[in-house]
């Protein structure tokens, strides 16, 4: 994996919402397809299928439509939404490295034909194409994000937590919180929402948390650490107020 480039892109990436009408070059599609075959999952027991499709295969209010979409289909198992966010954010960063525009899309849906191309559950779409606007920020100061103290109690992992802070999320609500225990385990939590909001936000909050965890994972790898996902009963039973436990990361 092109680790250094992915890490550096965390601090300048942006969601692209204006696309050129020209299609992606066949070479770019081939390189993207090859990269997606090498995606690292959070949970290797969950089957996931990211597929590149033409814009006509997606029903979307997006105008003008991007030339292509990536549709994520997944086996619906425990943790599958977080896993999808984790894996697809690797794609988001790769596209940014290659100067290809990308934007997470919660509303667009596959056409009947595109949906039937997989036996798995459709999760979310990424709009992709040649950008018709700047694809990178000039500095991290251009990000509109919560201050670091609102997303973590950790004070000794500044670079890793800054990578988490800059992660994109649905409606930019950053629904995550990270802690670290005395044994050094990093714990990831997702915000609780009321039953009415959960109809819409639960899915996208868990995908968003997967995106943030991906940033933490890449930052850890960049620092030479060896992160590994695990479950911790104590962290699960003692979440911060207003959050629920999702996963832990041990690293050395």
Could you report the per-residue pLDDT of 199-209, keeping only the tens digit for each? 788 999 999 99
Average pLDDT over the chain, rounded to whole?
94
Could you report the per-residue pLDDT of 103-155, keeping only the tens digit for each? 999 999 999 999 999 999 999 999 999 999 999 999 888 999 999 999 999 98
pLDDT of the residue at 111: 96
Q: How far apart are CA 72 and CA 124, in angstroms?
A: 6
Quick one: pLDDT band at residue 1, thresholds 50, 70, 90? Answer: low
Residues ≥6 apart with Cβ < 8 Å to 166: 10, 11, 140, 143, 145, 215
Angle 80-97/195-222 helices, nearest 10 degrees? 50
Q: How far apart are CA 210 and CA 34, in angstroms?
A: 22
* Domains of the chain listed by start with CATH number: 3-129 (3.40.109.10), 144-250 (3.40.109.30)
pLDDT of the residue at 29: 96
125, 111 in Cβ contact below 8 A? no
């Amino acid at each position: 994996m092109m680790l250094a480039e992915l890490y550096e892109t965390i601090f300048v990436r942006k969601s692209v919402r204006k696309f050129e009408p020209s299609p992606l070059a066949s070479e770019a599609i081939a390189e993207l397809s090859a990269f997606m075959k090498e995606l690292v999952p959070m949970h290797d027991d969950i089957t996931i299928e990211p597929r590149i499709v033409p814009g006509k295969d997606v029903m979307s209010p997006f105008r003008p439509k991007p030339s292509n979409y990536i549709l994520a289909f997944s086996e619906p198992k425990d943790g599958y939404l977080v896993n999808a966010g984790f894996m697809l954010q690797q794609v988001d960063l790769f596209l940014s490295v290659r100067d290809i525009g990308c934007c997470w899309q919660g509303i667009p849906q596959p056409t009947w034909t595109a949906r039937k191309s997989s036996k798995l559950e459709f999760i979310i779409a990424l709009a992709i194409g040649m950008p018709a606007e700047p694809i990178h920020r000039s500095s991290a100061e251009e990000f509109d994000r919560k201050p670091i103290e609102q997303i973590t109690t950790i004070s000794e992992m500044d670079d890793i937590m800054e990578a988490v802070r800059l992660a994109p999320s649905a409606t930019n609500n950053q629904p995550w919180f990270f802690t670290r225990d005395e044994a050094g385990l990093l714990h990831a939590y997702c915000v609780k929402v009321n039953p009415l909001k959960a109809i819409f936000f639960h899915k996208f909050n868990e995908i968003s948390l997967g995106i943030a965890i991906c940033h933490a994972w890449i930052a850890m790898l960049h620092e030479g650490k060896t992160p590994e996902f695990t479950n911790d009963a104590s962290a699960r039973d003692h979440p911060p107020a207003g959050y629920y436990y999702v996963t832990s990361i041990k690293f050395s």
